[in-house]
A and B are shown apart, each in its own frame.
Chain A
Amino acid sequence: MPERLVELDLEEQGEVVVARVTGELDIAEAGQTGDAILAGVGPSALGLVVDFTGLGFIDSSGIAMLFRLVRQLSARRQVVRVAVPPGGAVARVLEIVEFERAAGVDPDVATALAAVRS
């Protein structure tokens, strides 16, 4: 069990930034987490992979954060993809809000990275 509600790890793999978010993402952390991720993605970066494989919970605030990231990075011509294992609660929410219309969703980080680089 995590000591904090949300943990964020930012990692650059090649020219892609991987933001690993673990814990539960709700309105208490979403804004802050989004800001931190955005700050972690430099202008030279090719794109961003949001790693939700360790995330237990997401609500509309988290979704709003994702949409904000997509909107702002897309404006900088940077690609955003979300890695989330299918069948889980997070995948179900992304599905309901039809997130795939805004950005690509991949079952794992490797797939997502490949998709960004392609």
Chain B
Amino acid sequence: MRRSPGFRLGAGIPRSNPTGAVQGLPELFDLRVKVRSLAYLFAAGALLAGITLVLPHSREVDDTAVLLLACAALLVSILLLLLGEQARGWRLHAFLAAGTLMISLVNLAVGESLLYPLLYSWAVLYAFYFFPMRAALAHLAFIGVAYAVVLVIQDGPLVRWPLAVGTPAVAGLLMSRLLGILRLQAANAEERAGDLRQSESRMRLLLDSAPDAFLAMDARTGAVTAWNTAAERLFGWTAGEAIGAPLRELIFPEEGRAAHDERRRNLLGQGQAPIVLRLELDLRHKDGTVFPAEETLHGLTVGDDIVMSAFVRDLTERRRRQQEREALLTEQAARAEAERVAEMVSGMQLVVDAALAHRTTHAILPDLVSRVRGVLGADGASIYLAEDERLTLRAASGSSNGRESEGLDFGEGFAGRVAAAREPLLSPVGQLADHGSPPANPDADSLVGVPLLAGDTVTGVLVVFADAPRRFTADDLALLRLAADRVALGIDRSRVYEREHRIAETLQRSLLPDRLPRLPGLTVAARYLPAAAEAEVGGDWYDVIPLPGGRVGLVMGDVAGKGLAAASMVGRLRSALRAYALEGHDPPTVLDQLNRLLWTEAESTEMATLVYAIVDPADASIRWVNAGHMPPLLVAEGEAPRFLGGPRAVPLGVLPFPGFEEVSSAVRPGTSVVLYTDGLIERAGVVIDEGMSLLARAATDVGTDPEILCEHLLASLVPEGGAADDVALLALRNEPMADRFATEFESEPESLAAMRGLLRRWLRYAEAGEEETAEIVTACGEAATNAVEHSGAGAPFEVAGALRGRRVNLTVRDRGEWRSARRGDQGRGLSLMHALMDTVEVAPGPDGTRVRMQRELREGGSPSA
């Protein structure tokens, strides 16, 4: 309500309406509005009264009263304007009530006018507009009473009363409702405006705090309309600088402007349809630097405006990270490649290691095939070896097992075709069918084969395959060729090695006695340990040579070098030595001969150390020559072991006339001689003297039994896992005599002398006389001769003796058939036995013959013979 009712002049104002206050918004209008409105109401009343006086009017109107009332209303109006905010609360009601009274007075003064009662409408309007409902109703009631009083005084017709009261009431109510609705709308609009402002500021805050730059442009003008804080940061232009400026020059480098114009034109051409674009482009900073950015572009039509808004994000960092990641990926790929190569190289090294292992083909193939499979990462691998244009599967690894043909002719099957072509073949299975390959490896998905070549000869085929989805590539083929070269090398080497090793082994075996001879009155044991590291056959050898008369030659030698050459030299030396020894030469002569043999050899570089000793049990002696070899060791019960020193000559083959000297010593019964090669005592970092004292210590307090000695010496001197060099060891004991003996002899004429030697020693032990000894030996010889002549081939005969008091019992047992005096010789032998012994008893049996003889000793002990 902008205009308040003016003066209440005279009566006749319609009655106020009873309702219509706008509730719930009492605080909407401040007091000043209310007071001013009331002031205007009074002023309007005064104006109306003034106009009534000036214009022509009824005579009944009391002009003076109206003038007074107009002045009073004007006064009140001025008073209200002056009072202002002090006219609050009940004063306001009092003023309105005063207004009502004034209207009633005007009505009374004017008389019956239809216009003046309507003045009450102003008051009702005011009450319902500005006051709460109850206060408004109270004013309405007061107005009604005041108007009724006016009517009663004027004595007007009663019918006018309802009209007089109702009209102002209805009019005031309607007007106040109308104004109330307007007021509500105004209030809502106010509220919405507040909300809008709030949301706008929120939006701005949001945009400002957004990490991405936001900007908007009027598409028609190209001017910037929005520019957030992030945009300020990103582009360097403040919002103040940016807004209103053309975006084109602001953020686009020269070369990007045409594209921007194009986009802008497109947007304008699009009309209504909103567009969204995501672009990566270069933008320019205020300082001129150009950076990569991502722009999310929205084009939309807002009313008549076409707005291009965009979120812009700096891609510099992202690009940098991307580049870093790419660099990292490249680096990782490079590293993976390097690792792959390293793995391949080490895999290849494994193949080489396996190939060069000093072993037989049989031993290296499984190793090779599995290593090749590992290098290629294949599912299966197999090696075929070729012989006479035919391939034989020799080793397989992985899933291939059992799927290959065991044998293939050249040209047959995949491997056969590789062998025939002498070229690598790479074949996916699909192509195999085209080649009409046999069903070998039906499940293999990719197959590659390379020939193994030794010179120009195909020695085999290496086949590798992979199950799906792996496919071999040319790289794999190249790798396999490398591996195949090494495998071929390995096979070649192993074949050569095998051949050499086989020959050398055979030689070596032939060079050592397969069994030691029976030596009457002597026990002998020997050991031969090849070096640990699968080495070639060494040049060590030993020999035990039975010599006439029960003597025995002992040989311990070491040819410098290894392998076939050494082994064959050992063979020559051994044969020569046996020949010279059996010819009956003494040790220095034998060694001279051997030295000449070596010296005159074309390969004069050959050299050998050697001990040759002859042990004669008959006189318990040993004589020997040492050509640069380790000195023999004498081990006697209850004594410290002692080395058989003496002059140690140069090795064989060093000087043309070395002048070997013989040395001799006693080997009393119960004493052992130990011969050995340096392999037994040589250790890395141990000087030879120390090694010898270790040997002497090891031989202490272990008895003299040759077998036990050998075992013990090897156990205590050879390290776990074998010695570095070959070890040969030979021990011989001069058996002590006892009341009983039993010895087996070979059934050959040469055994007889040994038998006689042993028997003489025993009879000496039995303290038999010289003559008795000769006679008993002769008798026993006759029985033994018979045994030699009639024993089965290879079956030994046994001579056993027992001494009971002074009675000598001798038994000669053979496995042949006793031939009684058929011919003169045998008859003579039997008669000799009978003549020489007290009793002779011949007991022939199906398994052999036993001759028992007895003789009582009568002569005193004789130390000679």
Give chain A's interface residues, CB within 8 Å of chain B.
Answer: 1-5, 24, 26-28, 57-61, 63-64, 67, 88-89, 92-93, 96-97
Q: Please measure, in the bound complex, the distance between the C-alpha atom of A92 and the C-alpha atom of B775, giving whole angstroms.
A: 8
Give chain A residues whose Cβ lies under 8 Å from the Cβ of B43. Answer: none
Give chain A residues whose Cβ lies under 8 Å from the Cβ of B835. Answer: 96
Least Cβ–Cβ distance between B415 and chain A, in angstroms: 65
Least Cβ–Cβ distance between A100 and chain B, in angstroms: 14
Task: Check A4–B584 contact: CB distance below 8 A.
Answer: yes
Contact with A along B133-150 (1 / 0, CB 8 A): 000000000000000000
Q: Which residue of B lies closest to A87 (CB)?
A: B771
Q: Please measure, in the bound complex, the distance between the C-alpha atom of A1 and the C-alpha atom of B781, giving whole angstroms.
A: 20
Q: Please measure, in the bound complex, the distance between the C-alpha atom of A88 and the C-alpha atom of B548, giving whole angstroms.
A: 22
Task: Check A59–B781 contact: CB distance below 8 A.
Answer: yes
Task: Check A93–B778 contact: CB distance below 8 A.
Answer: yes
Complex partner residue of B788 from A27, A60, A67, CB under 8 angstroms:
A27
Give chain B residues whose Cβ lies under 8 Å from the Cβ of A61. Answer: 785, 825
Tell me whether A96 and B831 are in contact in the complex, defined as CB-CB below 8 angstroms, given that A3-B585, A4-B584, A28-B750 are known contacts: yes
Task: Check A3–B785 contact: CB distance below 8 A.
Answer: no
Task: Check B750–A57 contact: CB distance below 8 A.
Answer: no
Q: Please measure, in the bound complex, the distance between the C-alpha atom of A5 and the C-alpha atom of B549, giving whole angstroms.
A: 7
Give chain B residues whose Cβ lies under 8 Å from the Cβ of A97. Answer: 828, 831-832
Q: Please measure, in the bound complex, the distance between the C-alpha atom of A59 and the C-alpha atom of B788, giving whole angstroms.
A: 14
A to B CB contacts below 8 Å, 26 in the list: A2-B549, A2-B584, A3-B583, A3-B584, A3-B585, A4-B583, A5-B548, A5-B753, A24-B753, A24-B756, A26-B781, A26-B785, A27-B749, A27-B789, A28-B749, A57-B774, A57-B778, A59-B832, A60-B785, A60-B826, A60-B832, A61-B825, A89-B777, A96-B831, A97-B828, A97-B832
Least Cβ–Cβ distance between B741 and chain A, in angstroms: 20
Give chain B residues whose Cβ lies under 8 Å from the Cβ of A93. Answer: 778, 832
Q: Please measure, in the bound complex, the distance between the C-alpha atom of A21 and the C-alpha atom of B584, giving whole angstroms.
A: 17
Give chain B residues whose Cβ lies under 8 Å from the Cβ of A57. Answer: 756, 774, 777-778, 781
Least Cβ–Cβ distance between A82 and chain B, in angstroms: 16
Contact with A along B836-853 (1 / 0, CB 8 A): 100000000000000000
Q: Please measure, in the bound complex, the distance between the C-alpha atom of A27 and the C-alpha atom of B788, giving whole angstroms.
A: 9
Q: Please measure, in the bound complex, the distance between the C-alpha atom of A63 and the C-alpha atom of B781, giving whole angstroms.
A: 13
Complex partner residue of A59 from B549, B778, B824, B831, CB under 8 angstroms:
B778
Give chain A residues whose Cβ lies under 8 Å from the Cβ of B781. Answer: 26, 57, 59
Q: Please measure, in the bound complex, the distance between the C-alpha atom of A96 and the C-alpha atom of B774, giving whole angstroms.
A: 14
Give chain B residues whose Cβ lies under 8 Å from the Cβ of A24. Answer: 549, 753, 756
Task: Check B836–A96 contact: CB distance below 8 A.
Answer: yes
Given contacts A26-B785, A64-B825, 20 further A-B contacts (CB under 8 A): A24-B753, A26-B749, A26-B753, A27-B749, A28-B752, A57-B756, A58-B778, A59-B782, A59-B785, A59-B829, A60-B828, A60-B829, A63-B828, A67-B824, A89-B771, A92-B774, A92-B778, A96-B835, A97-B828, A97-B831
Give chain A residues whose Cβ lies under 8 Å from the Cβ of B485. Answer: none
Complex partner residue of B782 from A2, A4, A60, CB under 8 angstroms:
A60
Tell me whether A1 and B824 are in contact in the complex, defined as CB-CB below 8 angstroms, given that A28-B753, A59-B781 are known contacts: no
Least Cβ–Cβ distance between B260 and chain A, in angstroms: 125
Least Cβ–Cβ distance between B775 and chain A, in angstroms: 7
Asked if B586 is at the interface of the complex by the 8 Å CB criterion, the answer is: yes
Task: Check B750–A1 contact: CB distance below 8 A.
Answer: no
Give chain A residues whose Cβ lies under 8 Å from the Cβ of B616. Answer: 1
Q: Please measure, in the bound complex, the distance between the C-alpha atom of A89 and the C-alpha atom of B548, giving whole angstroms.
A: 20
Least Cβ–Cβ distance between A65 and chain B, in angstroms: 10
Q: Please measure, in the bound complex, the distance between the C-alpha atom of A93 and the C-alpha atom of B776, giving whole angstroms.
A: 11
Q: Please measure, in the bound complex, the distance between the C-alpha atom of A69 and the C-alpha atom of B616, giving whole angstroms.
A: 34
Give chain A residues whose Cβ lies under 8 Å from the Cβ of B749. Answer: 26-28
Q: Which 3 A-B pairs have the closest CB atoms?
A: A3-B584, A89-B774, A28-B749
Least Cβ–Cβ distance between A98 and chain B, in angstroms: 10
Q: Please measure, in the bound complex, the distance between the C-alpha atom of A58 and the C-alpha atom of B756, giving whole angstroms.
A: 11
Interface residue SS majority, chain B: helix
Task: Check B785–A27 contact: CB distance below 8 A.
Answer: yes
User: In chain B between 538 and 571, which residues have their CB closer than 8 angstroms to a CB of chain A?
Assistant: 548-549
Give chain A residues whose Cβ lies under 8 Å from the Cβ of B829. Answer: 59-60
Least Cβ–Cβ distance between B772 and chain A, in angstroms: 10
Q: Which residue of A lies closest to B581 (CB)?
A: A3
Q: Which residue of B lies closest to A89 (CB)?
A: B774
Least Cβ–Cβ distance between A4 and chain B, in angstroms: 4
Task: Check A89–B753 contact: CB distance below 8 A.
Answer: no
Give chain B residues whose Cβ lies under 8 Å from the Cβ of A58. Answer: 778
Q: Which residue of B lies closest to A95 (CB)?
A: B835
Q: Please measure, in the bound complex, the distance between the C-alpha atom of A83 and the C-alpha atom of B498, giving whole angstroms.
A: 65
Give chain A residues whose Cβ lies under 8 Å from the Cβ of B775. Answer: 89, 92
Q: Please measure, in the bound complex, the distance between the C-alpha atom of A1 and the C-alpha atom of B835, giving whole angstroms.
A: 29
Q: Which residue of B lies closest to A56 (CB)?
A: B774
Task: Check A4–B548 contact: CB distance below 8 A.
Answer: yes
Task: Check A96–B832 contact: CB distance below 8 A.
Answer: yes
Least Cβ–Cβ distance between A9 and chain B, in angstroms: 15
Give chain B residues whose Cβ lies under 8 Å from the Cβ of A96. Answer: 831-832, 835-836
Q: Which residue of A lies closest to B780 (CB)?
A: A59
Q: Which residue of A lies closest to B830 (CB)?
A: A60
Q: Which residue of B lies closest to A96 (CB)?
A: B835
Q: Which residue of B lies closest to A58 (CB)?
A: B778
Tell me whether A60 and B756 are in contact in the complex, defined as CB-CB below 8 angstroms, given that A26-B781, A27-B749 are known contacts: no
Give chain A residues whose Cβ lies under 8 Å from the Cβ of B752. Answer: 26-28
Give chain B residues whose Cβ lies under 8 Å from the Cβ of A67. Answer: 824
Q: Please measure, in the bound complex, the distance between the C-alpha atom of A5 and the C-alpha atom of B548, giving whole angstroms.
A: 6
Give chain A residues whose Cβ lies under 8 Å from the Cβ of B831. Answer: 96-97
Tell me whether A89 and B778 are in contact in the complex, defined as CB-CB below 8 angstroms, given that A26-B752, A60-B785 are known contacts: yes
Task: Check B774–A64 contact: CB distance below 8 A.
Answer: no
Least Cβ–Cβ distance between B585 and chain A, in angstroms: 7
Q: Please measure, in the bound complex, the distance between the C-alpha atom of A26 and the C-alpha atom of B825, giving whole angstroms.
A: 12
Least Cβ–Cβ distance between B789 and chain A, in angstroms: 7
Least Cβ–Cβ distance between B564 and chain A, in angstroms: 35
Give chain B residues whose Cβ lies under 8 Å from the Cβ of A92. Answer: 771, 774-775, 778
Q: Which residue of B lies closest to A64 (CB)?
A: B825
Task: Check B753–A1 contact: CB distance below 8 A.
Answer: no
Least Cβ–Cβ distance between A114 and chain B, in angstroms: 29
Q: Please measure, in the bound complex, the distance between the C-alpha atom of A57 and the C-alpha atom of B770, giving whole angstroms.
A: 13
Interface centre among A2, A24, A59, A97 (most CB of B within 10 A): A59
Give chain B residues whose Cβ lies under 8 Å from the Cβ of A60. Answer: 782, 785, 825-826, 828-829, 832
Contact with A along B751-795 (1 / 0, CB 8 A): 011001000000000000001001101100110010011000000
Least Cβ–Cβ distance between B822 and chain A, in angstroms: 14
Q: Please measure, in the bound complex, the distance between the C-alpha atom of A58 and the C-alpha atom of B782, giving whole angstroms.
A: 10
Least Cβ–Cβ distance between B763 and chain A, in angstroms: 13
Complex partner residue of B549 from A1, A63, A64, A88, CB under 8 angstroms:
A1
Q: Please measure, in the bound complex, the distance between the C-alpha atom of A88 and the C-alpha atom of B865, giving whole angstroms.
A: 13
Least Cβ–Cβ distance between B624 and chain A, in angstroms: 16
Least Cβ–Cβ distance between A8 and chain B, in angstroms: 13
Give chain B residues whose Cβ lies under 8 Å from the Cβ of A26. Answer: 749, 752-753, 756, 781, 785
Q: Please measure, in the bound complex, the distance between the C-alpha atom of A97 and the C-alpha atom of B782, giving whole angstroms.
A: 13
Q: Please measure, in the bound complex, the distance between the C-alpha atom of A106 and the C-alpha atom of B813, giving whole angstroms.
A: 37
Contact with A along B407-434 (1 / 0, CB 8 A): 0000000000000000000000000000
Give chain B residues whose Cβ lies under 8 Å from the Cβ of A28. Answer: 749-750, 752-753
Give chain A residues whose Cβ lies under 8 Å from the Cβ of B782. Answer: 59-60
Q: Which residue of B lies closest to A59 (CB)?
A: B781
Q: Please measure, in the bound complex, the distance between the C-alpha atom of A26 and the C-alpha atom of B778, giving whole angstroms.
A: 10
Give chain A residues whose Cβ lies under 8 Å from the Cβ of B549. Answer: 1-2, 5, 24
Interface centre among A2, A60, A63, A92 (most CB of B within 10 A): A60
Q: Please measure, in the bound complex, the distance between the C-alpha atom of A111 and the C-alpha atom of B727, giving whole angstroms.
A: 61
Give chain B residues whose Cβ lies under 8 Å from the Cβ of A89. Answer: 771, 774-775, 777-778
Contact with A along B350-387 (1 / 0, CB 8 A): 00000000000000000000000000000000000000
Contact with A along B571-592 (1 / 0, CB 8 A): 0000000000001111000000
Interface centre among B586, B752, B835 (most CB of A within 10 A): B752
Q: Please measure, in the bound complex, the distance between the C-alpha atom of A14 and the C-alpha atom of B555, giving whole angstroms.
A: 47
Give chain B residues whose Cβ lies under 8 Å from the Cβ of A4. Answer: 548, 583-584
Least Cβ–Cβ distance between B596 and chain A, in angstroms: 19
